[in-house]
Amino acid sequence: MLWAVNMGCLGFHVWPSKADDPEHADELRIDLDPTPGVDFPMVREAAHEVHTLLDQVGVVGMP
């Protein structure tokens, strides 16, 4: 497993729900993982677009 993690093949993410109600998600995480060749300004632009979209649909995002 450590080999796969070191190769960037595995990622561990928290569940999008609280422990007392795991059947109902109460958050959404948008994970911007740039691929090789994508520089930071491109990631920043994508984050800005996601923020704009969330604003348009009335979802409050956290940085």
Longest dimension (CA), the chain: 41
The secondary element (H helix, E strand) that includes residue 41 is helix 40-57
Which region among 4-8, 36-40, 42-46, 56-60 has the lowest average model confidence (pLDDT)?
4-8
Task: Give the domain ranges of the chain.
Answer: 2-57
**φ, ψ for residue 60 (rounded to 5)?**
-85, 120
Predicted pLDDT at 45: 93
Please tell me the distance from the alpha carbon of residue 39 to that of residue 54, in angstroms, as a whole number.
23
- Predicted confidence (pLDDT) per residue in 22-52, tens digit: 888 887 778 888 888 989 999 999 999 989 9
pLDDT above 80 for 62: no
pLDDT value for 1: 62
